[in-house]
Amino acid sequence: MNRDLVISLRRRLGGGLLAACVALGALALPAAGETGLEPLPLQFPEPTLRGTPEDLPSGPTIEPPPKEAPAPFLAPAGVKNVALGKPVTSSVRPFTGELSQLVDGKKEAFDSDAIEMRSRTQWVQVDLGAPHKLYAIVMWHDHRYIQITRDVILQVADDAEFTENVRTLFNNDMDDSSGLGVGTDKEYFETHYGKVVDAKGEVARYVRGYSRGTSLTALNCWQELEVYGIPVP
């Protein structure tokens, strides 16, 4: 990161918060030639009014439910949600909702905003239409309830069949039950804040998200997938 940018960020965030953002992966470092960082223009849905159960899963591989909003994720100015309204495919046809709802910008904790699919490992996939440089991907699986979504795996690739230049950005399948490799990321409770994954500036056209049920049900659910990036010239 260049010296002027570091100084600017220290003024805006303070040295401690800047270091924390970098350490937590909440700061997408710009590549050479990119200047100016801004918080992602995230619009969080309203939180569910349901209370937090007392018997939630816990352990060293599970992040506790967040008690406050996450630190802002910083990305180069001009980055926007390039998945909005793009074509969506999936491993199986949803029995509730339409695939287009995955990228319609609606992610409230309403049954009408949920896409539900049958059990076992299933995926949804967004075609961005052209290669984009990606900075962050934000997932909302199902924040109607306080729960953990199992085997959350997020990949990007150059082709729709996911055979070319496949890169895994997030994987918390620690027992490899989905067969895509052992993950090292922790499980987490996905609230209305969703889950922000650092895309590290990867260039890709296709984004695929896997899941394998939740701590409450064997079924799979998605509410929204946002991909923040810029077109590749």
Strand 37-39 relative to strand 74-76, pairing: antiparallel
Indicate the range of 31-35, 205-209, 216-220, 221-225 predicted with least confidence.
31-35
pLDDT at 14: 45
Cβ-based neighbour number of residue 39 at 10 Å: 12
Asked whether residue 59 carries a pLDDT value surpassing 90, the answer given is no
pLDDT at 233: 87
pLDDT at 33: 45
Residue 62 contacts residue 152 (beta carbons within 8 Å): no
pLDDT at 48: 82
Asked whether residue 31 carries a pLDDT value surpassing 60, the answer given is no
pLDDT tens, position by position, 151-199: 999 999 999 999 999 999 999 999 999 999 999 999 999 899 999 999 9
pLDDT at 66: 84
Residue 80 contacts residue 227 (beta carbons within 8 Å): no
Higher pLDDT, 52 or 99: 99
pLDDT at 6: 44
Distance (Å, whole) CA 175 – CA 39: 34
Asked whether residue 3 carries a pLDDT value surpassing 70, the answer given is no
Asked whether residue 32 carries a pLDDT value surpassing 50, the answer given is no
pLDDT tens, position by position, 107-121: 999 999 999 999 999
Q: Dihedral, CA atoms, 125, 128, 130, 133, nearest 10 degrees?
A: -100
Work out the pLDDT band at 51, boundaries 50, 70, 90. low
Work out the pLDDT band at 68, boundaries 50, 70, 90. confident
Tell me the whole-structure pTM to 2 decimals.
0.84
